[in-house]
Amino acid sequence: MKQGRLWLRVASGLSAMAILAACGGAPATQAPTTAPAAPATQAPAAAPTTPPAAAATTAPAATTAPAPTTAPAPAAAGRGAGGTLRILYWQAPVTLNPHLAVGTKDFDAGRLILEPLAAMGTDGTPVPVLAAEVPTIENGGVSEDLKTVTWKLKTDVKWSDGSAFTADDVVFTYTYCADEKTACTTNSAFTGAESVEAVDPATVRITWTDPNPYPYQMFVANNGAILQKAQFENCVGEKAATDSACQAANLAPIGTGPYKVTDFKPGDVATYAVNENYHVADQPFFKEVQFKGGGDATSAARAVFQTGDTDYAWNLQVEAQVLNQLIEQSAGKGKLLAVPGAAVERLHLNLANPDPTLGDNRSEPNQPHPILSDVKVRQAIKLAVDRGTIATQLYGPAGVATCEIIVTEPYITASEIFGGRNACATADGKPDVEAAKKLLDEAGWTLPEGKTVREKDGKQLILTYQTTINPLRQRTQAIVKQNLAEVGIQVNLRAIEAAVFFSSDAGNPDTLGKFYADIQMFTNNYDQPDPLVYMATWISSEAASKENGWRGSNDSRYQNPAYDALYEEYTKTTDTAKRQELVMQMNDILIQDAVVIPLVNRNQNTSGYNAKLQGVTGNPWDSEMWNVATWTMAP
């Protein structure tokens, strides 16, 4: 989900005017963060002979705000030598099982406990975690024909309950998510395999049905958390989210990570203690972690820069003037982490009918939307939106207006980010009102004399537009509402608590997955240097529905055989140039069909932290908690 655009703005030493965080949508596996979906600085033609340095050539390293003039003294060494690490996410986690997560807050809260075989480093190169090494063609881990990937595992790893971590746990994780009825939100990372088998207790072999040009699709970064077979083996399929024992496991997974959960109140706070069995000597430093959720972005910024009530505050999606002031008042007590990336604030249009009178069929993929199924209406909305004002007045240097959903090199150049490839408004980002009106006229939506809302067959053109509660998002909503009113579309606004919107609560009507509205807005991005998983967001088989627990990543219920065919070709293509071409063809279909309407290409991470907190390294490709085991606190 991140990065690749230093030619647009430099993150090092940014003032608050240059930052508004990437949002909590799902990692790219799931719309959203947050949830979610995966990749792009270099699409490898084949598995690299060494860990993918190709990605590093275009994916800039994460950066942080300048350090204080006087460097803090080093922290005392040793496992559990520190006190309590206080982390604040104003979107509260509701599960600690990343495979059932919808928002970034769930993935990040789970990352303290559950680990992948490899993390994605700041330069887009995999870094071993549970693996002894990253497989490549050179070391024999990736076959020349790209059909097998063999992972060698560390042999000294134990689960937090003291039992041994083995290849069987890795194979089980695949089995768990490969079952469609489990409805993993990370499902796309596990597709395309013919088999995943334990060669021996320390070796796992993946055999792909077809040559896979991206060997790190599975078990890497946010989507690759390994579950303990002994804890979850009776939770495959529908029981994953419905069985009481499985629900308990989702809230307290046994892990190999640096911490273990001691108490979790979903929607509020998770408390962790040191995992005495952690496989890295002298880590982690903190004896306890409190992962607090709730509040809002502004109060989170105050907690780190003004009151000192927290050590790390995530996603400071705060108006630049306010954030600047807080940083100045901090007098060096707090630092700012800002990382450019692939995050795009966007509108998703619902192609299914959210009418409550449909009962159980509400927003099901087989129920066409009575208004938005018409591509001309969707295109009119795209042309009517004032990206220029949203970007300049609300985001400033922290975001640029964009008409594309893929925004990083080598797929797209700086000049194409806005208006160069898929011009979706006028040259300065202002809406093309007349063109939008013309499309609505052609679609049969006329504006009777003396009326302000268009009509067709006795029905008014009225849409409901939802997003999370956040001052910037509500200001964006107000701009879009005014834009659409100018072309004769009435918009009713809804603002939903982020903890609800980015949840997988099947009983709640206000989740992103259920999409009981016409338009919804959030940020998502790709989190590996190849957008394979991310582009699966819009394939037909990923359409969210009651059957998959509303956890399908395709929340728009978009169904286009041409797009599906391109994605299928993409999964099998090994030529670099051809892969890049396919990515942009899919991008173009999405933009021209106006199923997703990009607004602003935002900074990936914007978080604040205690100036004494050491080891924090922003990462454009992985969780903000990716290296939390190495964090320490200076005295």
Is 81 within the bounds of a domain? no
Q: Which residue has the tokens 């003396």?
A: 450
Among 280, 161, 146, which Cα is nearest to 217's?
A: 146
Is 570 within the bounds of a domain? yes
Is 43 within the bounds of a domain? no
Is 618 within the bounds of a domain? no
pLDDT of residue 397: 63
Count up the domains in the chain and report the number. 1
With beta carbons less than 8 A apart as the criterion, state whether 498 and 470 touch: yes
What residues does 158 pair with on adjacent strands?
164
Q: Is 352 exposed, middle or buried (0-12, 13-18, 19+ CB in 10 A)?
A: buried
Q: What are the φ/ψ torsions at residue 397 (nearest 5 degrees)? A: -65, -10
Residue numbers in the chain where pLDDT is lower than 70: 1-76, 397
Is 183 within the bounds of a domain? no
Helices (H), 2-146: 53-56, 104-111
With beta carbons less than 8 A apart as the criterion, state whether 130 and 195 touch: no
pLDDT of residue 502: 86
pLDDT of residue 76: 67
Q: pLDDT tens across 526-581, in order?
A: 877 788 889 999 999 999 999 988 988 999 999 999 999 999 999 889 888 999 99
Q: Which domain holds residue 512?
A: 344-352+370-602
pLDDT of residue 71: 54
Is 541 within the bounds of a domain? yes
Is 76 within the bounds of a domain? no
Is 450 within the bounds of a domain? yes
pLDDT of residue 418: 77
Count Cβ atoms below 10 Å from residue 13 Cβ, excluding itself: 12
pLDDT of residue 277: 97
pLDDT of residue 73: 65
Q: Cα(325)–Cα(16) distance, rounded to whole angstroms?
A: 8
**Domain CATH for 554:** 3.10.105.10
